Structures are given as C-alpha cells and as structure tokens.
Structure 1
Amino acid sequence: MYMLIKTYCCETDMCNSETLELPDPEERELNGMKCPSCYSFTSDQCQSKKTVSCRNNEDRCFYYGGSISLGDTKLKAAARGCTTAYMCNFISGTDIAFRNYSVLTTRAGCSIAKHSVYEL
C-alpha cells in the first residue's frame, strides 16, 4: 500500500483552487533505507512482520494509530512504514475535524530510518 500526501500553504483568496501535481509512484527511486511495515483497518495497533524499502527523501520510519469517523461510522486504523521528516512533524498528535469527518490520533511516532531494519 502506498499513500502520498502533498500540501501547499497560501494566503490569498482562491489560492487553494489549484490542483496539486503528484509524482508518479513508479518513478520514485529506492534510497537504500528500510522501515518496519504493517497496516490494520480493525485496530489502532499493528505488528510489523515485514519491511518496506524507502524511496526518494523518505528517511524516517513512522507509526500511526487512530480512528477515522464519518458520521456514525467509526473505523480504527494503524500503519507503519517510510515517511519524510515533514510528515513526522505533521502526524505527532494531530487531530482533524471537518463537518462530519474526523481523524483522532491515539498513537504516533517517528524514528530515523537506517540502511538496515530499524524497529520502532
């Protein structure tokens, strides 16, 4: 599984109407680093039994656990894998609420990726 998030900050009227371009996942280059990998859509925890190879500027290993609510539907989720330093700053303790959608963080953390497997 691969998820890419791109953000852009602006301060003028209608500046957020532009569509952000995302890189082609197939063109991302391996950087020699690895992280523990797992995901769950039934719990806010997952145990890593495999590793994932990091790419481009992904130099951190992350762990995220929380819940996603949409109206009356609530789903627990957890994931481990590679990320960037920017995303580590973003995920630690971030809760999001918008209309009837919310994301509640229950567990989050990052560590520096290594050329060998680094357990969180």
Structure 2
Amino acid sequence: MCITCNNTECRGTLLHMAECTSSKTIKKSCYSKTLQFPLGSQKDIIYNIFGCMKSEDCRPFNETATLSNGQYAEIALQCCNKVMCNRYVKKVADKNDRPLNGMQCPGCLSINAKESCSSETMVRCHGEENHCVSYTGQLKTPRTSSSTVSFKGCATKYLCDLLTGASKDGTDILAPQNATEAECSCAEFPAKT
C-alpha cells in the first residue's frame, strides 16, 4: 500500500491509499516527489506527488539550484518499499546544511519578467551545483503555470537539463514553457587575486 496524492498540500483528507502490487516480473515501489521553487516576494511554488511506480523506474534524486538573495530551488524523488512508507513529505534542506563547493555563477531573479534579468551579483554554489543556469520563461507544475520568470544562478546538471529541455525526466512536476532563454554552462571557481 502506498500513499497517493497530487497536490500542493498533501495532508489529511487529500491523502489516499492505493495498492502497489508487485508481480513475479514487475516489482513496484512507493515514491514521493517534491518541488519547491521561489517566486520572489510571492509564495514559493511547493508541490508534492505521492504514488506507486515500477521499482526500476524509481531512481532517487535531489537536485537543487541557488539563485540570488538566498533563494533556493529543489526537486527531489524518494523511493521506498514498505507499507505507506511514502507518507512523509521530504523537508527542503536548509541552505546552511548544504556545503559551499567553491564555485560561483551570475545570479538574479525577476518575477513577471519581460526580458532576461541582469546579473549584478555572483551566487556561491552549494553541494553538487556545478552548472550556471540562465532561464527566462514560464514554469509549469501539474496545477499551475507561473507568470514569466527570469533567473540566473547555480544548478545541478540534472536541473539544468530539465530547464533547457535536454531531459524530459521530471517534467511531470516541473516543466519549462515558452522559454525565450534556457542556457547552462559550467560553473567556475573565482579567480584568485
């Protein structure tokens, strides 16, 4: 049995239980996907999906992006194989719990953007963030489409691939739409003076 839910608030009456039956040839796992994406002074996009999938397709990940002004984005998938083991929403990691890796990228964030935001600051990259992302367009979740956003910052390769369209893995929870700019490059270590 797995918890199923597809909503911004997966709690209480929104949670349902579903059989997640494995057969001799197909093993199944419970999963939970979590998305958190900043929208400046507006409330962050937070979305959760709980369900059941083939075990071979359930490959856990935790991908992040660090934007300007301490803004932080995360998309994660967790898999488990016990009854209702996916009932807890993964808590988004605190920025202070993600170690700096020494790399940096230009950073900015603009909501309701008409054009690409200009990067006046450098953002320090955390953990596995080894790419610089530059994106202008809408972001679609299962229930909403954002207004046009423009951001630059550090990102993991997976999140870069998702935003640039190089990967379709994860587009069920976050998909780029009407992008006028979607680029990734390697993050760099700052020049020593």
Q: What TM-score does the superposition give when structure 1 sets the normalisation length?
A: 0.71
- SS of the equivalent of 1:7 reads strand
How many residue pairs get aligned? The number is 113
Relative distance call for 1:8 and 1:34 in structure 2 (3 A) is same
Aligned Cα RMSD in Å? 3.3
- SS of the equivalent of 1:116 reads coil
The 8 Å contact of residues 6 and 20 in structure 1, kept in 2 or not, is answered as no
**Quick one: which amino acid aligns to residue 75 of structure 2?**
K
The 8 Å contact of residues 102 and 124 in structure 2, kept in 1 or not, is answered as yes
Query: Does residue 53 of the first structure (1) align with residue 90 of the second (2)?
Result: no
Residue of structure 1 equivalent to 2:177: 104
Q: Percent identity?
A: 29
Relative distance call for 1:38 and 1:15 in structure 2 (3 A) is same
Structure number with greater Rg is 2
**Quick one: which amino acid aligns to residue 76 of structure 1?**
T
* Deviation of the 1:103 alpha carbon: 5.6
Relative distance call for 1:15 and 1:104 in structure 2 (3 A) is farther
Residue of structure 1 equivalent to 2:190: 116
* Deviation of the 1:57 alpha carbon: 1.2
Aligned equivalent of 1:78, options 150, 172, 189 = 150
Tell me the distance in 2 between the aligned counterparts of 1:9 and 1:105: 29
Deviations 1:39-75 (A, max 9, x none): 1113241111111111111111001111358x9x962
Q: What TM-score does the superposition give when structure 2 sets the normalisation length?
A: 0.47
Name which structure has the greater RCO, CA cutoff 8 Å, separation 6+: 1
* Deviation of the 1:7 alpha carbon: 2.1
The 8 Å contact of residues 164 and 176 in structure 2, kept in 1 or not, is answered as no
Tell me the distance in 1 between the aligned counterparts of 2:96 and 2:163: 25
The 8 Å contact of residues 92 and 108 in structure 1, kept in 2 or not, is answered as yes
Unaligned runs of 5+ in 2: 1-69
